[in-house]
Structure formats: C-alpha cells, structure tokens
Amino acid sequence: MATDSIHKPARAPWLPAVVDFATDSHARAVAVLIVVALLAFLPGFFQIGPVDRDEARFAQATKQMIETGDYVDIRFQDETRYKKPIGIYWLQAAAVKIARLARLTHADTAIWLYRIPSLLGAIGGVLMTYWAALAFVSRRAAVLAGIMMAACILLGVEARLAKTDAALLLACVAAMGALGRVYLEAFSEFAPRGSPWALPAIFWTAIAGGILLKGPLILMFVALTIIVLAILDRSAGWLWRLKPLAGIGWMLLLVLPWFIAIVARHGGGFFEESIGHDLAAKIGSGQETHGAPPGTYFVLFWVTFFPGSILAGLATPAIVQSWREPATKFLLAWLIPSWIVFELVMTKLPHYVLPLYPAVAILIAGVVDHDALSRRLWLQRGTVWWFLITLALAALIVIANLYFEQQAGLRTWPFLAVAVILAFGAWWLYQLDGAEASLLRAAGAAILISIAVFGFTFPRLPTLFPSNAIARYLRGLDCTPDIAAAGYQEPSLIFLAGTDTVDTDGAGAAVFLNGGGCRVAIVERSELRAFGQRADAIGLRYSRGPTIDGIDYSIGRRVSVAIFRAGGAQ
C-alpha cells in the first residue's frame, strides 16, 4: 500500500533494535530474516523421526527412485503414487544424492535429508515475502512481514516435513511478487528496474516450479488474482508486460518433458489418478476424513498464523478503507478469491491456505508501519490472545511431558517461562510500546514455544515413533533381514525397514518366517493370536525379540508390536 494512503502519526520513541538493524540495508534485512527463520525452523529438524503418513510416503517414494535409478515413475512399494507431480521427489533425491557423495552414513534413511527442500522452501518463502512486500510497503514493513511468516506456526510445521507445501510456498510467493510488481508498474507506483525480462522470467519460472510441485494449484492463485483485478479495473492490458508468448513457451519447456515421459510410460494414468481421483475427491468430498464445513480456515487462521493473526482484526478497518489503492487491491485479490475457493472445497487441511498467508502478512505489516491499527477498545482487547494462546500451548507441553514421564521435559521450562513472559508483555504493553514492539515480543514467544515443542518434547517421546525403535532393533542384528509386517504397516516402517518389507497378516507372518534364513516378522498385538496358531500348526521355530509399545497417531490409537526372528527355541 502506498506510503501516503494512511495517516501516519509520529512513531513511538522506542523502536525494536532488531528491526532498526535490519532496515539499514537489504543485506542486513536478509541476514536477520535468515537467522530468525533458522531459530524458528531448525529445532527438532534433525531429531524428529519420519512422520506418518504423508511425509513418510513422500520420502519412501523418493528412496525408491534412488534405489531403482528411475526418476520418472513415482511409486510406493509396488503401487503408483500419482497424487502429485515429480518436483518434490527430484529435490529430495538431489539432497540425498549429495549426502551419499559426501559419504554420510545411512543417508537413504536419514529423514532430515528429505526435509532439506522443505527447510529451504520455508526460508525462501520468508525471504520472498520480504522481496514481494517491498513492492507494496516500506522496507521496515517488509521485514515485519518476513518475521510474521518466520514465526507463523503453520510454516514452522511445514518446514519440518518432507512434503510439497513449504517448497510450493516459495514458488507461489515468487510468482505473486513478480505479478504484483508488474501490476504496480502499470500504475507508476513501482518504478521498473533492470531488464524488462527479469520479472517475466521470475514469474514464469516460478509457475513452472509450482506446477511440477503440486500441479495446477499455483495457476489458481494467479488466475483468480488476475480475473478479479481485470474485473475491478476493467482492463488487463498490463499482462502484456509479462511477455506471455515467450513466458508460456519457457514454462512449457520446463514442465512438459516429465509430463511427456510419464504419459509415454503409463498413458493417462497419472492424470486419471491425480486429477480424476485425488483432485476430484478433494473438491467433492472430505477425502481421507478431512472434510469440514465452510469457515473452517477462518477459525484455524487465528492459530495457524499466530502470532501475526492477532493483529488481523485491528488491521482490517484500515485495509478496508484503502482497498481501492492498487497495492491493497492486488493483495486482497491475491487473498480473498482463493480463500473463498478453499472454504467451499470439501476437503480441508490447514496447509492448503499457506500460500495466501504472505498477502495477509504484507497487509498487516503495512498497517502496523503506518501506525494505523484500529483504536477501538474491543479490538485492542483481542491482543490478550497473544498471552492466552502462548499460555495454553505452554500448558499442553508441560502436560505432555508429565503424561509421558519425560525427564527431558524439564529442559523446556526456561523456554516456556520466557515465552509466557514475552507473550504477557506483548499484550500488557501493547498500548504503551505500540504494535511493532508487541508483535516482535509475540514472535519471540512463538519461536521459543517451537523450540520447546520440536526441539525438546517431540524427539523425546519414543511412543510417538514406534517405527524408530523397530529400526534400531533391526540395525543391531548380525545380518540384513528380510522383513514382514502384520497389523502395523505404517509408511514410516517401510521407509526405515526397507522397500521390500512384506505386508501380511498374523498367519502370513508365521509362514514368512518358516522360509528360514535371516527373517524378521513384526506383529501387532491384534495379529498375535493368528500368528501363534499358524506357527504351531506348521511347527515353526522362532525366537521372540522385544515388544515395542507406542501410539499410532495417524489412526489415533495405541499399538503394541512384537518382533519375532526365524530360528531359535520356541
């Protein structure tokens, strides 16, 4: 939004030093945002085991590509996995291949390697939010927008998961930032710099990257923005600045080779599964029990975009007042139409709206920078949620550590205490120090909470990751076993135990062990009776290993897994 769009009173005399430092130059701004992002995203990144089910499925499909040398087809064991295009698998495979060249031990099953594209995508999304924001707001506000994204709870989760969404965020913000600059140039609000081909190159390359990552979703964000702006302005002539003929040709050059290769390999199978089944199921029904009514994303927003979300209500009056200005109009066109579509689609997962959060961050940051947040008392009282949400999260962490009797949970207390104090100050000192200082306190509190959750609590809850305990036992054997699993067949087990892990039932596990040699059966409690009966019937000789108890959070129940090895005394 333009600097003269909102009356800007004198700034409070006290200014947060970190923002003062960052706004001295672009290099300092980038350095500060990278440090903040690393503090927010790295805790737990290396320690947390593979998460069921999506992360483990993505990682396993990539691992199979590396094992087979086939970088065209996408498979999970013997099944095709055509829900998403190839982009994320290539990025993950590149990270693992580099680690293998560096002779990193157990690189193929080190889940953090598969998360590197997500980490880089999340950091890139923060930096791209800053870059995009510079077209709409001051450098100071752009830094605030980047900090909001770095501290955002939802992006913190996606940065630690080996899947598409953090990388897609980077592609989407790059495309929308370039599109926004081209749009504002048409209104002489953003002076063009450099080659006239630079922004089109960024835009069309980002579009190609987004398509290879998650299909046509990035096209929806771009198309809806353009359509709304064309309707409001009654013109779309500015689109020619994007060099559409050359740009579309470049985009097709990047995306078509793989699509042609997969069609040559399997005909229309990829499109039938990804569009005909997966996309249609998401739109028409609550796929995999993830259905929810319209308004769900609005409710989730207050937690998933925390702590920046707490200023959204206070910023709304100023945003509404300035909606006709080109900068605000573009950001609202980026945000509102796609948000409505997501609210209407039956399947709802929190990360779907992540590419819209940079628009929210920039809008809020612009209003904060102009000191134009609402002075209405009932809205200002909403800042108490900085404190209440932080306090609730801290309490949940304490309860989780006590419930699982984790002594390591004591290490979280300093982080939780400081987080609660900062959140209290963000609320209590809001009117005294201003929104900017309070936002930074709340962002600090959110980062400390993430350190306590991801750095200390989750990695030390072994019951959440039974596949890790199973994998440790298997690595301790004196041979490389063939493995069968009965009753417990989560993707994380396939990823850690091996692609050839046999999916069977209790009776089948006994027959599998009877084949002799170095064989191990992993049998869940519900299949033990069938295993024992079949073992007795065929005279199976086996030895029993440890029993591993845990929680299968993907289905929401406790599991108990017994491990059996072929041979030995019954």
Q: Hunting for tokens 């390359």 — which residue is that?
A: 205
Give me the pLDDT at residue 4, please: 39
Q: pLDDT tier at 100 (50, 70, 90 boundaries)? A: very high
Residue among 302, 320, 437, 322 nearest 369 (CA): 437
Tell me the pairing of strands 542-552 and 557-566.
antiparallel
Give me the pLDDT at residue 6, please: 40
**Coarse DSSP helix, strand, coil percentages of the chain, rounded to the nearest 5 percent:** 65, 5, 25
Q: What length is written for the chain?
A: 570
Q: Per-residue pLDDT tens for 136-165?
A: 999 999 999 999 999 999 999 999 999 999
Q: Is residue 474 helix, strand or coil?
A: helix
For the chain, the distance separating the N- and C-terminal CA atoms, rounded to the nearest angstrom, is 75
Give me the pLDDT at residue 570, please: 40
Q: What would the mean pLDDT of 355-384 be, rounded to a whole number? A: 96
Q: Hunting for tokens 């096209």 — which residue is that?
A: 219
Q: Which residues of 484-502 are buried (b: 16+ CB within 10 A; e: fewer)?
A: bbbbbebbbbbbbbbbebb
Percent of the chain with pLDDT over 70: 92
**393 with 449: CB under 8 angstroms?**
yes
CA 544 and chain centroid, separation: 40
Give me the pLDDT at residue 8, please: 43
Q: Above 50 in pLDDT, residue 3?
A: no
Q: Per-residue pLDDT tens for 454-505?
A: 999 988 887 889 999 999 999 999 999 999 999 998 999 999 999 999 999 9
Q: pLDDT tier at 557 (50, 70, 90 boundaries)? A: confident
Q: Per-residue pLDDT tens for 396-423?
A: 998 888 877 666 567 888 999 999 999 9
Q: Per-residue pLDDT tens for 264-281?
A: 988 877 877 777 566 655
* Strand runs labelled E in 498-556: 502-504, 519-524, 542-552
Give me the pLDDT at residue 410, please: 73
CA pair distance 340, 352, nearest whole angstrom: 12
pTM of the model: 0.94
